[in-house]
Amino acid sequence: MRFTKMHGLGNDYVYVSGFDQPAPANPEALAIAISDRHFGVGGDGMILILPSDKADARMRMFNADGSEGEMCGNGVRCVAKFIHDHGIANKERVTVETGRGVLTLDITRDEAGKAEWIKVDMGEPILQGSLIPTTLPGDPPVDVPIEALGRQMNGTAVSMGNPHFVIFVDDLKAVDLDKIGPALETHPAFPRRVNVHFVEVVDRTTVHMVTWERGSGITLACGTGACSVCVAGVLTGRTDRSITAHLPGGPLKLEWPANDGSVFMTGPATEVFSGEWPI
């Protein structure tokens, strides 16, 4: 089986195209094996790039633990780069079918004609608590208290097709993400688990954030998470509607226009190498 390793700001996945080979029969088990950083290719998970009758391609995303996620912001940018650079849809605007619907992506090419920067219409945030889903009060829950590991903190829940919980803090260095991340991911308030983000606000247009990603643990970047941080910053009055989010893997530009419609995310996508996996 042929594969391509790609990343968006260090949020790395193994990409398998179903355009020129059969899709894997058991993607959940394959995702676990191929994502292993010691015995496999290594990555935060696996993403299948498949034909679609609704868009230029369809994306299925599997976390490193084999669970299937609805969306991945960094992943969808890499899918756009793959189908552009590999001739599946060599155009400046492409569409990708995801678990949260069809997304439109605008591509900026480098001097060699390859996709370099990609702007994604990530769709409207989901703000109804039951659809996020969470049992926390509010539509959406904004700065609501939650208790984990014997401590109470306040956070805001948002869905970008997948659930997120955003906690603003004064000092990111004081966050023990290894411990608090998994406790919040599996908190009873989130029936489908949740992606957890801790955010330090520098000014109204700049934030720093770290992520515990559902099913994968600590990752260098999370695109849907950065979008949820942009939304949470507006909802809590901490940031403007256009921000730069600095993640461990690099910066993403986010915008949530005043009409409360789609969130737009702009960032890079990088192809690292290709290979073959025995099946």
Active site members: 72, 222
Neighbours of 226 (CB within 10 A): 32
Is the dihedral angle over the CA atoms 21, 49, 45, 266 positive or is it negative?
A: positive
CA distances from 12 to 4, 42, 64, 177 (A): 11, 8, 11, 19
Contacts of residue 269, defined as CB under 8 A and 6 or more positions apart, other chains included, come to 6, 7, 8, 74, 77, 78, 80, 81, 115, 116, 118
Contacts of residue 195, defined as CB under 8 A and 6 or more positions apart, other chains included, come to 162, 163, 164, 165, 185, 211, 212, 213, 214, 222, 224, 225, 228
- What does the alpha-carbon distance between residue 279 and residue 268 come to, in Å, rounded to a whole number? 31
Residue 70 · residue 78 · CB < 8 Å: no
